Amino acid sequence: MSLPPSNLRVEQDGRVRRLTLAAPARRNVLDAALAENLLHELRDAQADSNTGAILIDADGPVFCGGMDWTGQVAEDTFTFGRHASKPIVASMQGVAISAGLALIANAHVAVAAQGSSFGLTDIREGRCHVGILKAVAAAIGDRRTRELSLTGRVFTAPEALAWGLVHALTPPFELDDRASAIATALANADPGAVRTILEHFTRNLS
């Protein structure tokens, strides 16, 4: 299948497939082409017997500055974590807005740099994507997500940790090492046990 060009870098490091949002000049905004390629690589990694885990990270000071509303971003982009049979780790620095927040919410383990900030700010532009709301609500609950999406306020890394959106905070210079170590450990874990764990939660979310 011929895919549109996108700002996604793909690297294989042992049994870890690293998917890097690579458009720092555009704040790694999620557009239709990037979303399509990201989904393609996630599905390919799920089917690849040589891949045991997926690591999603980003170039530059912003993890993801939101979504490009000029194109259509498939809702699957914001639900892939729910149906994955291999673990997904997110490594987040800087800022994650709306669509970026949904990408983190889809990860099974999320690590953020200290000093990072987050927000569901689309209401400031009179916009809303239900897929984003569903993804974030699955991670931190309906009531919290409703408040964040209505107010559009930016929240801090300690809040994200307290609410379970991210699972660990680390100094920025340690972020890549910490996330890579987690992804490598998951990639080398017993695949049957990992699959059983993920399938259990998939059933409970159905």
Distance separating alpha carbons of residues 23 and 17, to the nearest angstrom: 19
Res 29 pLDDT > 70: yes
Residue 73 DSSP SS3: coil
Structure tokens at 196: 């059983």
Q: What number of H helices and E strands is found in the chain? A: 8, 9
pTM of this structure:
0.94
- 112-170 tens-digit pLDDT: 999 999 999 999 999 999 999 999 999 999 999 999 999 999 999 999 999 999 999 99
**pLDDT at residue number 201:** 86
| Mean pLDDT, range 102-109, rounded to an integer | 97
Task: Supply φ then ψ for residue 147, to 5 degrees.
Answer: -65, -45
Q: Average pLDDT in the 56-69 region?
A: 96
Residue 48 falls in which region: left (phi positive, over 0), alpha (psi -120 to 50) or beta: beta
Rounded Cα distance between 96 and 63, Å, is 6
CATH architecture of 8-174+187-205: Alpha-Beta Complex (3.90)
The DSSP 8-state label assigned to residue 113 in this structure reads E
**Can you give the pLDDT at residue 74?**
81
Task: Share the mean pLDDT of the chain.
Answer: 94
The phi, psi pair for 37, rounded to 5°, reads -70, -35
Structure tokens at 22: 């690579």
CA distance 197 to 110: 17
Q: So what's the pLDDT on residue 72? A: 80
- pLDDT for res 206: 47
State how far the alpha carbon of 91 is from the alpha carbons of 54, 70, 85, 200, in Å: 11, 27, 19, 24
Q: What mean pLDDT do residues 14-35 have?
A: 96
Q: Which of 146, 143, 97 is nearest to 120 (CA)?
A: 97
**Domain-by-domain residue ranges, the chain?**
8-174+187-205
